[in-house]
């Protein structure tokens, strides 16, 4: 059963129950009041009639006992005459019966089937009897005519009172049927209007399930459905964002894997090719030497790539704990490191005795990667300088070279994995294009961004910021 129908039927059932109870009470009360007033009216009429009959008969009996003496039948005729008079003057439908104390009935125009109720036994009583859809009220009173005693039984027709009740009931039924039909129609429209937003929610859910993540319900209302749709839209928004992120990371991973496989495939081809040559034929010493040399250098390249990848992986895996690091110590390490190497460029380091929030190994890797890049970009005799400046609790570290520089497009792509501005050149210097990717990751771990300014053939300045700490070595 649909929700709309549930609403309709539950409303109709409640409505019909309450309406019936209300109407029943009303009809019953109406009927009761009418019955009571009719009864009262009939009683008073009866009383008046009895009183007037008694008075007249008493006067008559006085008259008769003087002139005619005792004449019972005449008295009776007189009584009947008066009753006939009453009957014709009265507006209400009524009949009479007269009986004697010995229970004999001497006059009656009451329907025969009710004649049993004309009796002395019912003196000073009233009751209602019904037979064949006819309701009759009977009142019996004693009439004292001086000498004789009669019993007058008035029979009032009460059918109209009961008919009135029945009519009301039928009317009620007809009205209820009409009302229910109207109510059903109204409820139908109302519920379909109310459930319209539910239908919309449902449709949107289905569309989202089918992969259309940008779908929204956009139902604006203050009720629960409005709230639900608002929460639903929020959820859909979150989902869309998450899915978008996932898709992006998948694309990034694919790109990374593509570049990675390219980086691996090239040395692999060389190694396999030369090894195949060596194992197939007994070549001369010169070829053999050349092949072995290639296998060695390409193998080295693979080794270096794997180490760099390991660095990258460990960076993305672990949560990095930042501790106070003396910047001067790191610079000292770098100096020692580069002193051992044979470098054609001039390295200038600013001395800066500050404590920064970082991690010694990472900071070292970060700076070394940047300096390595600068060296690769520089020609013989050019200067590479590491400058520092402290401002607002942050230390800005810049590595400045006078080398070949990059164009704008290269600057934007510089931190992408495996990106090399000048592929053949950096290859020949042993790079795989991962240096700046690592640098970027380390910077992310320090919550700082890497800014690159570069101009072709003028040089490159790469800088980042570190938080300065007030720290005394114990």
Residues 397 and 388 sit within 8 Å (Cβ to Cβ) = yes
> How far apart are CB 285 and other proteins at their closest, in Å?
13
Helix (H) or strand (E) holding 165: helix 159-209
Given the rule CB under 8 A, which residues bind other proteins? 258, 261-262, 265-270, 272-274, 276-277, 279-283, 287, 290, 294, 297-298, 422-424, 427-428
> How far apart are CB 296 and other proteins at their closest, in Å?
11
CA dihedral 117, 122, 124, 128 (to 10 degrees): -50
Q: Which of 440, 347, 364 is CA-nearest to residue 402?
A: 347
Q: Kindly give, in sequence order, each residue whose CB lies less than 8 Å from that of residue 203, ignoring residues fewer than 6 positions away.
A: none
> How far apart are CB 272 and other proteins at their closest, in Å?
6
Q: In sequence order, what are the beta bridge partners of 150?
A: 143
> Helix (H, G, I), strand (E, B), or coil: what is residue 389?
strand
248/254 with CB nearer other proteins: 254
7/275 with CB nearer other proteins: 275
280/319 with CB nearer other proteins: 280
93/300 with CB nearer other proteins: 300
How far apart are the C-alpha atoms of 118 and 150, rounded to whole Å? 12
205/297 with CB nearer other proteins: 297
190/277 with CB nearer other proteins: 277
> How far apart are CB 420 and other proteins at their closest, in Å?
9
25/429 with CB nearer other proteins: 429
Helix (H) or strand (E) holding 59: helix 3-67
How far apart are the C-alpha atoms of 205 and 200, rounded to whole Å? 8
> How far apart are CB 246 and other proteins at their closest, in Å?
21
The 8-class DSSP code of residue 121 comes to G
Q: In sequence order, what are the beta bridge partners of 107?
A: 98
> How far apart are CB 431 and other proteins at their closest, in Å?
14
> Both tokens of residue 72?
């019972």
How far apart are the C-alpha atoms of 450 and 462, rounded to whole Å? 7
49/263 with CB nearer other proteins: 263
Q: Which of 87, 96, 85, 79 is CA-nearest to residue 139?
A: 96
> How far apart are CB 376 and other proteins at their closest, in Å?
15
Residues 161 and 36 sit within 8 Å (Cβ to Cβ) = no
> Helix (H, G, I), strand (E, B), or coil: what is residue 388?
strand
> How far apart are CB 254 and other proteins at their closest, in Å?
10
299/360 with CB nearer other proteins: 299
Helices (H), 341-407: 360-377
Radius of gyration of the chain from Cα atoms?
Answer: 58
7/264 with CB nearer other proteins: 264
267/435 with CB nearer other proteins: 267
> Both tokens of residue 360?
């010694």
DSSP assignment of 311-350 equals HHHHHHHSPPPPEEEEHHHHHHHHHHHHHHS--SSEEEE-
CB atoms under 10 Å from CB of 204, counted, come to: 20
> How far apart are CB 298 and other proteins at their closest, in Å?
6
> How far apart are CB 433 and other proteins at their closest, in Å?
12
Residues 408 and 433 sit within 8 Å (Cβ to Cβ) = no
> How far apart are CB 459 and other proteins at their closest, in Å?
21
How far apart are the C-alpha atoms of 372 and 364, rounded to whole Å? 12
């Amino acid at each position: 059963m649909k929700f709309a129908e549930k609403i309709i039927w539950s409303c109709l059932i409640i409505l019909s129950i309450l309406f019936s109870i209300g109407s029943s009470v009303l009809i019953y009360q109406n009927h009761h009041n009418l019955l009571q007033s009719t009864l009262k009216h009939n009683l008073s009429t009866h009383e008046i009639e009895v009183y007037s009959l008694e008075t007249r008969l008493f006067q008559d009996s006085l008259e008769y006992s003087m002139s005619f003496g005792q004449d019972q039948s005449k008295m009776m005729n007189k009584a009947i005459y008066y009753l006939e008079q009453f009957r014709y003057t009265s507006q209400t439908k009524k009949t009479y019966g007269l009986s004697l104390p010995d229970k004999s009935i001497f006059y009656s125009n009451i329907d025969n089937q009710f004649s049993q109720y004309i009796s002395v036994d019912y003196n000073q009583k009233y009751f209602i009897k019904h037979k064949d859809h006819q309701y009759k009220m009977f009142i019996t009173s004693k009439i004292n005519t001086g000498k004789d005693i009669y019993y007058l039984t008035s029979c009032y027709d009460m059918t109209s009172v009961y008919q009135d009740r029945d009519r009301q009931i039928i009317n009620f039924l007809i009205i209820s049927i009409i009302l229910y039909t109207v109510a059903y129609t109204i409820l139908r429209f109302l519920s379909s209007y109310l459930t319209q937003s539910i239908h919309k929610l449902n449709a949107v859910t289905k569309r989202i399930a089918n992969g259309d993540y940008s779908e929204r319900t956009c139902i604006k209302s203050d009720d629960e459905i409005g709230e639900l749709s608002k929460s639903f839209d929020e959820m859909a928004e979150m989902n869309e964002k998450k899915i978008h992120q996932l898709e992006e990371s998948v694309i990034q991973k694919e790109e990374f894997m593509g570049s990675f496989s390219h980086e691996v495939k090239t040395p692999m081809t060389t190694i396999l090719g030369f090894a195949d040559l060596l194992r197939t034929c007994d070549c001369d010493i010169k070829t053999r030497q050349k092949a072995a040399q290639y296998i060695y250098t390409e193998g080295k390249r693979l080794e270096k790539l794997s180490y760099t990848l390991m660095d990258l992986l460990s960076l993305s895996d672990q949560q990095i704990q930042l501790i106070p690091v003396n910047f001067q110590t790191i610079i000292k390490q770098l100096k020692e490191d580069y002193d051992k190497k044979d470098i054609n460029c001039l390295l200038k380091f600013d001395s800066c005795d500050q404590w920064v929030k970082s991690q010694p190994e990472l900071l070292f890797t970060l700076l070394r990667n940047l300096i390595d890049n600068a060296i690769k970009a520089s020609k013989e005799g050019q200067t590479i300088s590491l400058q520092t400046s402290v401002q607002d609790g942050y230390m800005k570290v810049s590595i400045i070279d006078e080398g070949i520089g990059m164009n704008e497009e290269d600057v934007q792509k510089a931190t992408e994995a495996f990106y090399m501005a000048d592929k053949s050149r950096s290859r020949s210097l042993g790079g795989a294009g991962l240096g700046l990717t690592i640098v970027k990751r380390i910077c992310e771990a320090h919550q700082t961004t890497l800014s690159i300014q570069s101009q072709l053939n003028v040089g490159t300045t790469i800088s980042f910021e570190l938080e300065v700490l007030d720290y005394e070595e114990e």
